Structure formats: C-alpha cells, structure tokens
Copies of this chain bind each other. A is one copy, B any other.
C-alpha cells in the first residue's frame, strides 16, 4: 500500500511562525499535493500564497485542487494576476470553475484577462454554469472524433496522444459532426476490434444518452444509479458536446454536499471546518450562527418573563419546562433531518408540504401521547398533583405535534424562499417550539393556578 509519509510537514506552522519560508517552500515543493494541502490549511491565505509563489505552477494547481475552494480562491487572490492565470491554466476544468466562482469579482476579471484567449473563453464558459449542474460538474478533458474518421486514423490519433489521454477519465470516445454536435459514442473496445478502414460512423452507438449542461446534479445521480453508465456526455441546447461528467464526479460532489450540509446543519457557516484552520476563522464561522440563535432566544426569554408571576407561584414548573422544550426541539429536529435528506434526494418538493405534515402528524401524535404520558406520570409521582400532570402532559403532546409538523415542512418552505434549509431550519424550529411550549404550559398553568399551588 503506497503511503507517502511526510512527518516534517507537521512543522510547517512553526517554520512560518519563525519566518523560515525557504524551508517551508522546499518542504511543500516535494510533498504529495494532498499532504501539502493538509498542512497548508493551518495557515492564513497570505502565508499560503507566500509559500506557493516560488513553486512550479503545475504543483500549485495540484495543491489548490486539494484545498477547500474558498481557501484556494483566497490564495489565488494574493498572487499576481499573471501568476494566478498560470495556475488557473493548470487546474482541472471542474475544479477551475469551483475555485474561480469563489474569487471576488474584480480579482476574477483580472485573472481571466491574464489568461490566453482559448483559456479565457473556457473560463467564461465554465463560470456560466451552476455549480451543481452537469455543466458545473463536467470535465472538458475528453476525446472527440469526427463523424467522417475511419477506425485506423482514430486509433493512430489516440496512440499519438496516449500520454495526455491516459489521464482522461472516460472509457468512451465521442463522435461529433462539423459543428461539434454529438452524434454517437464509441466504445474503446469496439474501435480496437475493428478493421482500420471501417468508418467510425458504422461502429458508433447512435442517438447516445446525453445530459444538458443545465441538468441538476440530483437528476444526474438518479440516472447514474438507475443505469450502469460510468460517464455521460454533456451537451448544450444546440446539442454541441461541451464536456463529460463521470459517475465518480457526481458521487464525489454528492458526498461533499452531504458533508457540508451536515456541518451547516450543526451551525458551521460555509459547511467547512477542520481543526487545523486558524482559530479566529473558526470562531467567526461558528459565531454567526450562534449570534442568530441568541437573538431568537430573546423571544423565548420574553415569553417566560411575561409569565413570570405564574412561574413564581408554581415553581415546580421551572423544572419541567426544559424537558418540554427539549422534547419539542428534538422531535422537530428528527423531522427536519428527514426532510433535508428527502429534499437533497429530490424525493419531496414544496408542493408536498401538506402530504409531509400529514405524514408527520401520525408520528407526532403517537410519540406525543407516549412521551406526554410519561412526563405526566413522572410529574404526578413527584408532585402528587393531577392537574399539574395534565398541564405538562397536554403541553408536551401539543408541542410535539407542532414540532414534527413544522420540522417536516420548514426545510421545504426555506428552500422555496432560497434560505439554506440545513442552517436555518434548526434555529427557527427551536425558537418556535420553545416559545409555544413555554407559552402553552405557563398559560395553562395560569388558568388552573388555584389547583396547582
């Protein structure tokens, strides 16, 4: 098992602190790109840029591809436009689009202008696609054959470009007409088994399955799951072959999406954090979400303040309130998670909100009855007061039902409003269930206060 170990890279941060850049540069220059990227993540973008400025542009590109896109972009911004353009030229086309998309507009324009003409057109094309569409995921590295080619020429052409082609992902060759319109797909094996004078036209698969540059990644994954293609050609609205998207690319994109979603769901802005990142960067990314939650919590505090007389009179409620609030948040969180998953898989849309809440209602009712019964029983054992038991039991039941229905629907509505459902659903849900749960318990308690004292 090949495993390039690079113990010395662990000292990179110390070298930079001691201003020993020459040593840091020498170390990164000889490291495997992914090891180098791992170590560089601990540094600030100017430090990364300073280490990379002396390196071979191809190696810099390999390293940037392994860094989170926003850090790679921040590093590019700190290079001269000419240097950055040279690095961009070496990036794989799908990474190029992702990284350039994170570069602030004025810097991006300067880098693009420094590219040579072919690369400039390519960069503008790549940037025109949505990140999570076939156009954003595709690679521009593929082999296109002319419709009029013969097998012998095609094989000779392939052999001449063998080194370059060896790094291409595709097991297929694509056949296009004079306008670049996709006309067929050719299996490498079929080509190799043919006589040299056979025309490509006669051995290709006609009317090949292709996807449009705008096809969303969700749909791509469905096609790859359903059929056993390893790669699909990507065409524009005129049928012109624009690139190739592989199953690997689509799968890798999906797992990165879920990872980021998981972190955004837990309140990490941007969906990317590793502990090697600088402390202040990590602090800021976490703080944004915490500050929003704190602001929402003011409403929760307000409800309790409003009912503080009741609470003072029936102080036992203070011990039961956190249980009701936590159960609402937890039950609602389960429903949110299922909806976020089903949204990402394309199983539900905003129009399904009613169906989703109907499906949640049953679960909420059953769990609310069971858990409400438990808390009521527990409260009775503790305080020997049936009215108190009833108040907390009913409040927990009602709050659980509200929480699961709201939790199920919230991600759909937020998605529709173009607010990130992963990051926003949780805070909004807990605020609502806390406000409603507390208000319900304390209002009910206020109505029956003479039986509760």
CB within 8 A of A362: which of B192, B210, B283, B301? B283
The reply to whether A338 and B192 form a contact with Cβ atoms under 8 Å apart is no
Interface string of A249-260 (1 = CB under 8 A from B): 001101100110
The closest CB in chain B to the CB of A158 belongs to: B189
The reply to whether A316 and B308 form a contact with Cβ atoms under 8 Å apart is yes
A269-313 interface (Cβ within 8 A of B): 273-275, 279-280, 282-283, 286-287, 289-291, 293-294, 297-298, 300-302, 304-305, 308, 311-312
A346-378 interface (Cβ within 8 A of B): 347-348, 355-356, 359-360, 362-363, 366-367, 370-371, 374-375, 378
* A174 contacts across to B, CB distance below 8 A: none
The reply to whether B283 and A367 form a contact with Cβ atoms under 8 Å apart is yes
Chain B nearest Cβ from A297, distance in angstroms: 4
The reply to whether B342 and A274 form a contact with Cβ atoms under 8 Å apart is yes
Chain B nearest Cβ from A17, distance in angstroms: 16
Is A418 interfacial (CB-CB < 8 Å)?
no
Interface string of A1-14 (1 = CB under 8 A from B): 11000000000000
The reply to whether A297 and B323 form a contact with Cβ atoms under 8 Å apart is yes
| CB within 8 Å for A267 and B327 given contacts A252-B251, A319-B304 | no
Main secondary structure of the interface of A (DSSP, over half): helix
Is A419 interfacial (CB-CB < 8 Å)?
no
| CB within 8 Å for A320 and B301 given contacts A293-B326, A366-B279, A367-B290 | yes
CB within 8 A of A327: which of B293, B333, B359? B293
| CB within 8 Å for A263 and B337 given contacts A171-B171, A305-B316 | yes
Chain B nearest Cβ from A217, distance in angstroms: 12
Extra contacts, 6 of them, besides A275-B338, A322-B434 (Cβ < 8 A), are A263-B337, A265-B337, A274-B338, A275-B348, A287-B366, A326-B434
CB-CB nearest 10 A-B residue pairs: A266-B337, A255-B255, A301-B319, A251-B251, A279-B362, A305-B319, A304-B319, A297-B323, A283-B366, A275-B359
